[in-house]
Structure 1
Amino acid sequence: MRKLVVIAFCAAMPLAAQDQPQGSQPKPVPAPTLEKPGMAAPEAKSEKPAKPAAPKPVNPDAGKTVEEIIARVNNEIITRSEYDKARQTAVEEAKSECQNRCTPDQLQTDIEDRQKHALRDLVDQSLLVQRAKDMGVNVEPELIKRLDAIRTDNKLASMEELEKAVSGQGMNWEDFKNNIRNTLLTQRVISSEVGSHVTISDEEVSKYYEAHKGEFVRPEQVALREIVVSTEGKKPEELPDLKKKAETALKRVQDGEDFGEIAKRLSDGSTKSQGGFLGIYKRGELSKELEDKVFQMKRNQLTEVMETKQGYLVLQVLEHYDEGEQSLAKVKNEIMDKLYSARMEPAMREYLKTLREQSYVVIKPGYQDIAGGGGSEIQEVSATPEVTKSKKGHKKFLLFGKRSGSASSFK
């Protein structure tokens, strides 16, 4: 079965794990399902009294599914299998984002960096999702829209067909939905609790521009976005409908819809998750035909539907930079993004640090270094049953010990 195409929130992400705005979120997995041990068969009756048989040793884990727990975040757990899946997702995300734009060494460095933070990111996501629930955040309407967009992108007639397609790729439907739900919850918390408090004034933008004018002396360049309707592997009789799809996308943008949103929904290109953003190009970096066309265009102008070897293409000139020092008006959004990102990252780490200090975050010995770093409150605990730890304002709960009827352990 062909792999489903999933629209992402922050970056491109495989169907098995949806993205967040700045990165990839691992797929939450339910706590291990445990089976009750089988009962011993009754002994056969005998007319003569028989000497009682010596009791056989009983394996307490017989018939149970054993999962290694490597972290507990309040009353939620993170298992080794979730961590392994997050590390694999990191590889897939790095390869997807790097596509022909990185050297092998750069790709490997990116993979190692993402994998290094995989457990920390799992802990962070658990904290954010729990915070969203505490805040009473409801993302069900957005979840329905997101699922419907995935269904549409994959040309499926109904939600039942989408469920079958997801299940056909070895994924649990409820887990699939919950993964998207958690990403939406995480986004909402970040926006409300962190992003809304990070503001950039026009004065700050102007001050940065005046102090860094050298950054904005450039050759003539164009920033481009694309919508691609692929024709690769298609039959000749399918081409008219595909061209019509590209023309429909163009018409919707011309009628006022956002180019980036249309690209996310309708484009088949690898840039769809970034709203179709291709990059910034100087003269000589595009084919002669495209260069002659786009370098004559102004900001926000659109090409007609163009036929290429890969499919039908629509381009938008997001910005046209003249040669020389760029005006503040042309680079204002660029400066705002740079200043916002510079403030958002430390604000986010500080917010997550606060969440950790207000929570029980316990990491299995041997995993602490990759679970938090910095000043995060990461505590080590032994695997002794019925160990509890209390903190002011929070209820006690079991830490890594076995619960009655549970086979989750450090084994």
Structure 2
Amino acid sequence: TYYIAEVNESGITSDQLQKTFLNAISRYDDTALSGLDQSAILSFKKNILDQLINYELFYQQAQKEKIKISNDDINLEIDKIKDNFSSPEEFNEALKANNITPAQLKEDIKRQLMINSILEETRNQISISDEELLEYYNENKESFLELEQVYARHILVETEEEANNLLLQLKEGLTDFAELAKEKSIGPSAPSGGDLGFFTRGQMVKEFEDAAFSLEPGEISDVVQTQFGYHIIKCEEKKEEYSPAFEEAKERISNTLRYQKENEAISTFISKLKEEAVIVYNY
């Protein structure tokens, strides 16, 4: 057997690398893949090999720590996989197509659960103090600022004359705005009754934005001309600019810091394992 790399005398085969590589690129569409040149593919493969080495190091550490995985845990994971198939036969066919035996699948899952356990152990060592949370809040206040937003609908037509006629119908209360948008608007939001959802300043063309932000909830604009044609805008809801207090932002900050610290802890752990390991590259 040809090993492309060895980690403490445990080999990673070129088949393993190729299989993991093909699995990774299957998530990309053809356009993204056709843009990859030879050096990008080599770099991608090198990253995957690094990942396989990291997993091998985690697995060896899990063995060293004698981490036990029960059959119940393994079967639970197999049941989760089976849930993605419409029948047991379809599941078995998928195993055959991928050249995986049920025993191999069990072994792969056991290995993955052992690695997960080691990673979880590393993550659980993280702690974040209130002082750190407050410091992050004070240093990043601007990122928590929620900008003024408008929730609007619009009707877009080609001529000013048609827009004025529709506006007259709306002002006289002869028709519902959303129904009229479905019937008459030529904009892409017509099927949803002209619904544009919430938007902030800078997301729409200036004439449209100025009109939309000048309205109060329930108000309908005069006819507004833009490069797209003639619009009638209805403001459904408005949210003023808002800066959340520390207590409101605390959970969000905690999640951000935890994510950062967990990644740092895992990187440090990998570096330590690599320093203590004998890694041989055979290419």
For normalisation by structure 1, the TM-score amounts to 0.41
For structure 2, list consecutive stretches of 5 or more residues without a partner in the other structure: 150-188, 199-238
Q: 1:172 to 1:343 in 2, by over 3 A?
A: same
Identify the residue that residue 196 of structure 1 maps to in structure 2.
124
Name the SS for the 1:362 alignment partner. Answer: strand
Paired residue secondary structure (1:219)? coil
Q: Distance in 1 between matches of 2:196 and 2:279?
A: 54
For residue 142 of structure 2, the aligned residue among 182, 191, 214 is 214
2:263 to 345, 353, 356: 345
Per the alignment, residue 112 of structure 2 pairs with 183
Matching residue of 1:144: 75
Q: Residue 65 of structure 2: which of 129, 135, 143 is its match? A: 135
Q: How do 1:288-327 residues align onto structure 2 when only pairs under 5 Å count?
A: 323-327=241-245
| Long gaps (5+) in structure 1 | 1-66, 222-283, 294-320, 367-411
Instruction: State the shift of 1:339 in Å.
Output: 1.5
How far apart, in 1, do the equivalents of 2:120 and 2:267 lie?
Answer: 14
Q: Deviations over 1:198-222 (max 9, x none)?
A: 211222112211221100112368x
* Distance in 1 of aligned mates of 2:11 and 2:254: 38
Shift, 1:178, TM fit: 2.7
What is the Cα deviation at residue 83 of structure 1?
1.3
SS of 2:114's equivalent in the other structure is: helix
Give the counterpart letter for 1:139 in structure 2: I
Aligned to 2:83, the other structure's residue is in SS state: helix
Which residue of the partner structure matches residue 201 of structure 2? none
In the alignment, residue 204 of structure 1 is paired with which amino acid? E
Give matches, 1:32-181, under 5 Å: 67-93=1-27, 95=28, 104=32, 114-140=44-70, 141-156=72-87, 161=89, 164-173=92-101, 174-181=103-110
How far apart are residue 292 of structure 1 and its match?
7.0
Aligned AA (1:89) = N
Are the counterparts in 2 of residues 90 and 115 from structure 1 also a CA contact under 8 Å?
no
Contact 1:90 1:114 in 2 (8 A): no
Deviation at 1:108, TM superposition (A): 5.5
Question: What CA distance in whole angstroms lies between the structure 2 residues aligned with 1:132 and 1:76?
Answer: 15
Alpha-carbon distance in 2 for matches of 1:200, 1:187: 22
User: Alpha carbon RMSD of aligned pairs, Å?
Assistant: 3.4
2:62 maps to a residue whose letter is A
Distance 1:355 1:83, change over 3 A: same
CA distance in 1, matches of 2:196, 2:248: 21
- CA deviation profile, 1:94-138 (whole Å, cap 9, x unmatched): x28xx9xxx949x859x8665441111111101111111221212
Would the aligned equivalents of 2:128 and 2:258 in 1 still touch at CA under 8 Å? yes
Aligned to 1:360: 278
Whichever residue aligns with residue 112 of structure 2, its letter is: T
Q: 1:243 aligns to what?
A: none
Structure 2 counterpart of 1:265: none
For 1:354-393, list aligned pairs within 5 A.
354-364=272-282, 366=283
- CA shift in 2, pair 1:220/1:139, >3 Å: farther
Structure-1 separation of matches of 2:240 and 2:84: 37
CA contact 2:82–2:91 (8 Å) conserved in 1: no
Contact in 2 for aligned 1:216/1:325 (Cα 8 Å): yes
- Give 1:331 deviation, angstroms: 3.1
User: Structure 1 207/290 Cα, relative in aligned 2: closer, same or farther at 3 Å?
Assistant: farther
Residue correspondences, number: 196
Residues 67-86 of structure 1 deviation map (CA, whole Å, 9 limit, x = unaligned) = 32111112421011111222
- Tell me: CA distance 1:220–1:131, structure 2 relative to 1, closer, same or farther (3 Å): farther
> Does the residue aligned with 2:5 lie in a helix, a strand or coil?
strand
SS of 1:218's equivalent in the other structure is: coil
Structure in which a larger fraction of residues adopt helix: 2
Letter in 1 for 2:83: T
Judged with a 3 Å threshold, the aligned counterparts in structure 2 of structure 1 residues 191 and 79 are, in CA distance, closer, same or farther, namely same
Cα distance per residue 1:9-32 (max 9 Å; x no partner): xxxxxxxxxxxxxxxxxxxxxxxx
Rate the CA distance shift 1:163–1:327 in 2: closer, same or farther, 3 A: same
Cα 1:322–1:70 shift into 2, 3 Å: farther
Alpha-carbon distance in structure 1 between the residues aligned to 2:123 and 2:68: 19
CA distance in 2, matches of 1:135, 1:162: 37
Paired-residue identity, %: 21
CA apart distance, 1:163: 5.4
Q: Report which of the two structures shows the higher radius of gyration computed on alpha carbons.
A: 2
CA distance 1:150–1:361, shift in 2 (3 Å):
same
Alpha-carbon separation, structure 2, partners of 1:208 and 1:188: 30
Shift in alpha-carbon separation, 1:328–1:72, aligned structure 2, 3 A: same
